[in-house]
Amino acid sequence: MKNELSAEQIAFYRENGYLAIENFLAPDELARWSRVTDEAVSLRLSGGKEGSISHTLNNQADPDAFYANVFTQCLKLIEVHPEMRELICDARLGKLAATLAGVDGMRIWHDQALYKPPFGNPTGWHLDNPYWSFFNRDSLSLWVALDDATLGNGCMWYIPGSHKTATFQNSGIGQNIGDLFKIYPQWREIDPVAVPVPAGSAVFHNGLLAHGAGANMTNRPRRAMTCGYMPDGSVFNGVNKNILPDDVFEALKPGDVFNDDALTPLIWHKSWEQK
Ligand SMILES: O=C(O)CCC(=O)C(=O)O
Ligand SMILES: [Fe+2]
């Protein structure tokens, strides 16, 4: 894993709101991420004890729905596969995310596999952080390509710099991929950037950066494993349930700090390096 960041990479991330790291994983690491993600997705979709199927943790309840064909979305795979927990809770990933964001510690909000199927629908333009149960301008996502991500199969696209002017208003990932630009018409003037990357590459993006992905015009899946990160110290926004269990959501009050390591694992903190 390429876990060193140059000053130029950090500056690029802060200015543009994203950073691609090509060939982030070594070939043997990519093979493991790919195998473990396939296994965990199968468990999540199959339900039963290990899969603990729930409509909030995968989006395949109605396989003919538009959204089900944007991608097969399987959340919280660290709960169904011990090896996935090892991969996602890697302190090196937490340090990378914290360093890009410029914060002291990083927690997992949720991981998710996003497999765009053959001939899959495009991923409409959206922001990530407004979906989550905390609002934080330093939140971010990691997107790891398990297959080559190309212009033809739905690589990521970004509106560079949009994280600077985003509020927490969002549009859903719906059939009209440009709905977000009704909320932020000023972003229509910024040229979108496509980020095709070979399998094993990683892209980080700010939780308020406008992003989307094209349709998959090919007959093979475009698989990605991703993770949303929450800066340590973030608080409940009182707005979104998102992945919170019912009892947790009902007990929380706006302003409560998310500091439960079982729900939101702390995977890196600056203080750990000074021990
Ligand atoms: O994989 C995709 O098509 C979209 C990914 C995305 O929106 C994300 O990782 O936040
Ligand atoms: Fe997203």
Per-residue pLDDT of the chain (275 residues; tens, 9 = 90+): 999 999 999 999 999 999 999 999 999 999 999 999 999 999 999 874 445 555 568 999 889 999 999 999 999 999 999 999 999 999 999 999 999 999 999 999 999 999 999 999 999 999 999 999 999 999 999 999 999 999 999 999 999 999 999 999 999 999 999 999 999 999 999 999 999 999 999 999 999 999 999 999 999 999 999 999 999 999 999 999 999 999 999 999 999 999 999 999 999 999 999 76
**Cα(121) to centroid(ligand 1), Å:** 12
Q: Looking at the CA of residue 70, tell me the nearest atom of ligand 1.
A: 3
Does 223 sit in the ligand 1 pocket, CB within 6 Å?
Answer: no
Does 71 sit in the ligand 1 pocket, CB within 6 Å?
Answer: yes
- Residues within 5 Å of ion ligand 2, judged at the Cβ atom: 128
**Cα(124) to centroid(ligand 2), Å:** 9
Whether CATH 3.80.30.20 fits 7-239+262-270? no
Q: What is the DSSP string of the chain?
A: ------HHHHHHHHHHSEEEETT-S-HHHHHHHHHHHHHHHHHHHH-HHHH---TTTBS-SSTTSTGGGT-EEEE-GGGT-HHHHHHHT-HHHHHHHHHHHT-SEEEEEEEEEEEEPTTPPPEEEE-SGGGSSB--TT-EEEEEESS-B-TTTT-EEE-TTGGGT--S----S-SSTTTHHHH-GGGGGSPPEEE-B-TT-EEEEETTS-EEE----SSS-EEEEEEEEEETT-BB-SS--TT--HHHHHH--TT-B---TTTS-EEEEHHHH--
Say if residues 145 and 198 touch (Cβ distance below 8 Å): yes
Say if residues 96 and 107 touch (Cβ distance below 8 Å): no
Q: Looking at the CA of residue 112, tell me the nearest atom of ligand 1.
A: 9
The encoded tokens of residue 75 equal 């959340």
Q: Looking at the CA of residue 213, tell me the nearest atom of ligand 1.
A: 3
Length of the chain: 275
Does 141 sit in the ligand 1 pocket, CB within 6 Å?
Answer: yes
Does 227 sit in the ligand 1 pocket, CB within 6 Å?
Answer: no
Q: Looking at the CA of residue 222, tell me the nearest atom of ligand 1.
A: 1
Quick one: how far is CA 190 from the chain centroid?
Answer: 23
Give pLDDT, residue 49. 45
Write down the pTM of the prediction: 0.96
Half-sphere exposure (Cβ direction) of 157: Cα atoms closer than 13 Å: 20
Mutate to test the pocket of ligand 1, among 70, 151, 211, 222 (most ligand atoms within 8 A of CB): 211
The encoded tokens of residue 143 equal 């997107």
Does 163 sit in the ligand 1 pocket, CB within 6 Å?
Answer: no
